[in-house]
Amino acid sequence: MNPAEDAVHEGFMRRALELARRGWGHTAPNPLVGAVIVEDGRIVAEGFHAQDGGPHAERVALEALGRAPAPNATLYVTLEPCSTVGRTGSCCERIRAAGVRRVVIGATDPLPSHAGRGFAILREAGIEVVSGVLKDECTDLNLMFNHWAARGTPLLAAKVATTLDGKIATRMADSKWITGERARADVHRWRRLFPAIAVGAGTVAADNPRLTARLGDEEWCPWRFVFDGRLRLWSERSLPGVFTDHHRHRTIVVTTQHGGLGYVRKLRDIGVQVWIVPSASQRVNIAEFRRRCVDEKISGVFIEGGSQLISELIQLRELDYLMVYRSPMLFADDRAKSAFSGLRTERLVNAVRLCDVRHETFGEDFLTRGHTVYPAKMSVDETVFSLG
């Protein structure tokens, strides 16, 4: 391709990405996908995957066209078309049957058994295939689906809001608000994407969070996980809102067999769900938690703290993705609350790093996010290790 053709392809692919995002929060565990059909340099039909179990973006676009594509038509799609029948039929076969002669694709299917198969099927049918257009953007669109498809486990992603020196609260526990309204609104957007949010018992006791996504006039409640290995929250003088509000049936306390069956019964009696995951200690076993999420088809969990929970997930090498919102302020106080702790990082090679990093700005605040990469050797300070 030449630069002019690249620019044309990227322009139409950006429109397909815009369409894909209309399914934000509705498609899990399926991916977000957008598609456009172009004839003579003009978009003549559009489609996106709107919900799990619904028609795929390519089919929606072809149905919206309502006729056979013109001989020079090009289909743009953000993800490699599916090559298996599934619940909605093979998109590769639908494209072939429609008579589309050229397909431009963004990301490759992350399923190891499917990756590149759609390309081959289309080419065998005599269809021109152009792949990798805005590949990084199209791949980033489906963080959860990509992880779920490649590893068969939920994506555990954590979010923190910090000062420039990595603090999340003053020594007097003052933290509202470190970041501005635009950054906090973006957090709600991510909450809407993930099927579940998780916090530790300490965060619930200290902040009594609602753990819902609030976008405009809409409030949406995902599954709300509370990690409480000893069921200590039940002993609080007043139960937190996640146990008593009208969304309490969406609250799941994750505990161990050491928490006490009496408390478990009381929680269930008021409409709160309880997962008892096997554990040799009072700490919640994250590997067992992941397995339960797989059984329940929960493809991603958005972890909002506190710092102890997130730090210990890092110590366990169980955190898959990290999002850090930074505000242009400094506490410069050793006794202020740090976002992360618990490691003994003696050399740079022992540091936890992020890859596939993306940066975004929200007013004066700055977001850095990426997949966690753990060092070959990582020492944990056992004196602060106390998950659950």
| pLDDT for res 183 | 97
pLDDT tens-digit profile of 113-138? Answer: 888 999 999 999 999 999 999 999 99
**Is the pLDDT at 333 greater than 90, yes or no?**
yes
Mean pLDDT in residue range 374-386: 75
Q: Which of 58, 80, 304, 312 is catalytic?
A: 58
Token pair listed for 152: 């068969």
CA distance 139 to 189: 18
Q: How confident is the model at residue 81 (pLDDT cuts 50, 70, 90)?
A: very high
Q: How confident is the model at residue 162 (pLDDT cuts 50, 70, 90)?
A: very high
CA distance 156 to 208: 22
Q: Report the relative pairing of strands 196-200 and 223-227 from DSSP bridges.
A: parallel
CA distance 256 to 197: 19
Q: How confident is the model at residue 86 (pLDDT cuts 50, 70, 90)?
A: low
Q: Which residue has the tokens 């146990």?
A: 243
Q: Report the relative pairing of strands 365-373 and 321-326 from DSSP bridges.
A: antiparallel
**Is the pLDDT at 262 greater than 90, yes or no?**
no
pLDDT tens-digit profile of 238-248? Answer: 788 999 999 99
Domains of the chain (ranges; CATH) run: 3-144 (3.40.140.10), 153-384 (3.40.430.10)
- Average pLDDT of the chain, as a whole number: 93
CA distance 282 to 87: 42
**Separation in Å, CA 6 to CA 1, 2, 62, 73, 326:** 6, 6, 24, 17, 35
User: SS3 for 12?
Assistant: helix
Mean pLDDT in residue range 16-30: 96
| pLDDT for res 384 | 54
| pLDDT for res 87 | 63
**Is the pLDDT at 1 greater than 80, yes or no?**
no
Q: Report the relative pairing of strands 34-39 and 74-79 from DSSP bridges.
A: antiparallel
| pLDDT for res 379 | 85
Q: How confident is the model at residue 368 (pLDDT cuts 50, 70, 90)?
A: very high
Closest of 51, 113, 107 to residue 83, by C-alpha: 113
| pLDDT for res 78 | 98
Mean pLDDT in residue range 57-69: 96
| pLDDT for res 4 | 83
Judge whether 10 counts as a catalytic residue. Answer: no
CA distance 169 to 359: 23
Token pair listed for 215: 């976008």
**Is the pLDDT at 197 greater than 60, yes or no?**
yes
| pLDDT for res 386 | 53
Alpha helices in 155-226 (DSSP H): 181-193, 201-207
- 32: which DSSP letter? P
| pLDDT for res 360 | 98
| pLDDT for res 48 | 98
